[in-house]
Chains A and B, each alone.
Chain A
Amino acid sequence: MSTTLSNPSSTQAQSAPPPFTTRAGAWLKANLFNSWLSTATTLALLYVIVRSLLAFVDWAFIHAVWSVPYSAQGIADTTVCHNVKGDGACWAIIADKYRLILFGRFPYDEQWRPAIVVFLFIGLYVCSAIRKFWGKGIATKPIILVAVMAALATLVDDALFLLIDIVASLVGRPYTQPPAVLSAVLGYIDLTGRYVFMVATTIIWPMVGVWVITLAAIGVLMSGGVFGLSAVPVDYWGGLPITLILATFGIAIAFPLSILIALGRRSTKMPAVKMLCVLYVELIRGVPLISVLFMASVMFPLFMPPGINVDKLLRAQIAVILFAAAYLAEVVRGGLQALPKGQTEAADALGLAYWQKTGLIILPQALRLVIPPLVNTFIGFFKDTSLVLIIGLFDLLTMGKIALSDPPWQAFSTEVYITLAIIYIMFCYAMSRYSRGLERELNSTQQR
């Protein structure tokens, strides 16, 4: 009898949620001061945190020097900074050098161009992050045909140019331009092809069009030579645009490439392709990025016929793409592996062809599974682009180092590195925030 009586009350007690404390005091007591050990730890940590925070605020703001006087020759007088060294930060170095750090040796009066480029890149990232913008445009057969034809024309045209160059150099003549008429016709086809391709892709898939046009605008702004902009050779590019170019093109091209490699590596019907993909991944993964960059900058030109000069940035870009693709391919393969076999079988049973099955069923699910490691790799490669300093390209980090080589400012590396760190953190944190948002969004609709 007693058990039957006590039963309802005990089940009631079990089913009721534990008392939820909303008051801060109760939370603190429960979590930070619940025993003498935890109280001691809390107090000790609090002391350390407050002390270091105060010290940092003191150094970074209260005792900081924000500007220094300049001599008549324009040389900075950094005695004030030297006097407070150790007690206060010398942010004057940033005020003095920020344009050098951000834009490198780009002609000073033309630096509005790389500045716009940086904003274009950021705008591109923001637009791409809004999934609403990825909607379909108008994709009718004639427009697709026009886009493909234009792309083909441009490619064939470029190939012809390259062929003429190679033949000219192999024949032994000094490197010369092809005949003027041919060159003019080829140039005309090339330009028209590009414009038509851009317009057509924008109609078919607006977001892809936005990318193509923005990247073209970035190219024009950086190198100039058209629309009355003075030409700036790649050797003068530097700072943040170099970092953004290497990272954006690197990831944007390496990612689709990595998907193909991952699919190739899992292919059962094409053993040769599979072998090639395995070989590629293992080879590239087995060597440091620095050595791939060295290969690209030193060895690659040796294999090219004389007279053909692929510029340094492009070579570094290709190296970054090849390297990133190998790593991303393994991440993608992880996602493919994790997908239940039933999904492929169901797609097969419905009669979907290989690319339909892959594009509609397998990849959408596999890529969702690997968003965290994918973004992890993206972030890693964003920072790894700083290794191009080894082959003499002036990315953001390299420009920071160069700024520090100016004699009056040599002692103030901390300030420069903190600034660089903040720039890197902004980009990387944005990526990580976006990926978390994406995961949440996809999970909320899918509810698996």
Chain B
Amino acid sequence: MNQITADAPMDTLRDISRGKPVIVLDKVNKWFGSLHVLRDISLSISERERVVVCGPSGSGKSTMIRCINRLESHQEGRILVEGTELTDDLRSLDTIRREVGMVFQSFNLFPHLTILENCTLAPIWVRKMPRAAAEELAMSYLERVKIPEQAKKYPGQLSGGQQQRVAIARALCMKPKIMLFDEPTSALDPEMIKEVLDTMITLAESGMTMVCVTHEMGFARQVADRVVFMDRGEIVESGPPHRMFESPQTERLQLFLSQILRGH
């Protein structure tokens, strides 16, 4: 109950702060061989908006957000990020990837570099930042994700939750305008999920534009402006979290929610 009452004024606040669309997907189609994984996906995400994408496994949600920074390429339709269209042109791709940070399910930290080096690598080589400045920046983000004391260690020496927080700090060190999260808590033990979610909530409160693929419905309720439900490669339903969870319109979402709730 208090969830709804707490959400209501927040929604209006968010509507006021919401700016121009920064990610636009327009009738995007993608096939893996003959498998149609994305069907006519159209979605517009505004500046400072927090979108949670959910759906059963194999519904194409990961593929969709991987298309946003072109880890996967789409075959039909248009994707615009910050007004730049994603094409095979390498220069526009570089600009987009610089502005879009990504956090993966399996962390993907670089095991041969220390935590600090993981964070400073891209600022130094891509942003051409001086080493000292990059290290200062990295330490400030490591402090924000609450693990500055691990800076000199290697990823293999950290727990899963700590590694994922480093991965978030690493992405933030590029000062991205948009953050993508691809099931950031799915590979974590239950007791570590909370520390990662807390970090994400703090980030959401700072006004970052976020797109998260996640099954954490509590997180969706707390921070999402909009929940997008995908199934079999298409967007079935989308809307503010309280409407999605309390009064789902489609049968497929109702089924999905009942399965999720039964699982919990």
Residues in chain A within 8 A of chain B (CB atoms): 340, 342-343, 345-353, 356, 360-361, 364-365, 368, 445-448
Contact = CB atoms under 8 A, between A and B. Distances in A.
Contacts of A448: 111, 156
A365 B111 contact: yes
Given A343-B108, A345-B71, A356-B125, A351 B157 contact: no
- Residues of B in contact with A, size category: 20 to 34
A351 B174 contact: yes
Contact of A447 (B69, B102, B157): B157
B195 to A, nearest CB: 21
Contacts of A349: 69, 71, 97, 100-102, 104, 171
B157 A350 contact: no
Interface string B84-118: 00000000001001101110101011111000000
A363 to B, nearest CB: 10
A345 B182 CA distance: 12
Question: Looking at chain A's contact residues, is the secondary structure mostly helix, strand, loop, or mixed?
Answer: helix
B154 interface: yes
A66 B61 CA distance: 81
A364 B118 CA distance: 14
B110 A351 contact: no
A354 to B, nearest CB: 9
B104 A342 contact: yes
B50 interface: no
B192 interface: no
B112 A364 contact: yes
A444 to B, nearest CB: 10
A361 B110 contact: yes
A317 to B, nearest CB: 34
B251 to A, nearest CB: 35
A206 to B, nearest CB: 20
Interface of B: 69, 71, 94, 97-98, 100-102, 104, 106, 108-112, 121-122, 125-126, 154, 156-157, 170-171, 174
Contacts of A445: 154
Contacts of B174: 350-351
A446 B110 CA distance: 10
Contacts of A368: 112
Contact of B126 (A351, A364, A447): A351
Given A365-B110, A446-B154, 9 more contacts: A340-B106, A346-B104, A346-B108, A350-B174, A351-B98, A352-B122, A353-B126, A368-B112, A448-B156
Nearest to A348: B71
Contacts of A364: 112
A447 B163 CA distance: 14
A111 to B, nearest CB: 46
Contacts of A447: 154, 156-157
A115 to B, nearest CB: 41
Contact of B111 (A345, A356, A446): A446
Nearest to A345: B71
Contacts of B106: 340, 342
A347 B112 CA distance: 13
B112 A365 contact: yes
Contacts of B100: 349
A353 B94 contact: yes
A346 B110 CA distance: 8
Contacts of B108: 340, 342-343, 345-346
B121 A350 contact: yes
Contacts of B156: 446-448
Contacts of B171: 349-350
A345 B103 CA distance: 10
14 contacts: A346-B104, A346-B108, A350-B97, A350-B121, A350-B170, A350-B174, A351-B126, A356-B125, A356-B126, A365-B111, A445-B154, A446-B112, A447-B156, A448-B156
A364 B170 CA distance: 19
A445 B100 CA distance: 31
Contact of B121 (A342, A343, A348, A360): A360
Given A343-B108, A345-B108, A361-B110, A351 B94 contact: yes
Contacts of A346: 102, 104, 108-110
A110 B213 CA distance: 75
Nearest to B71: A345
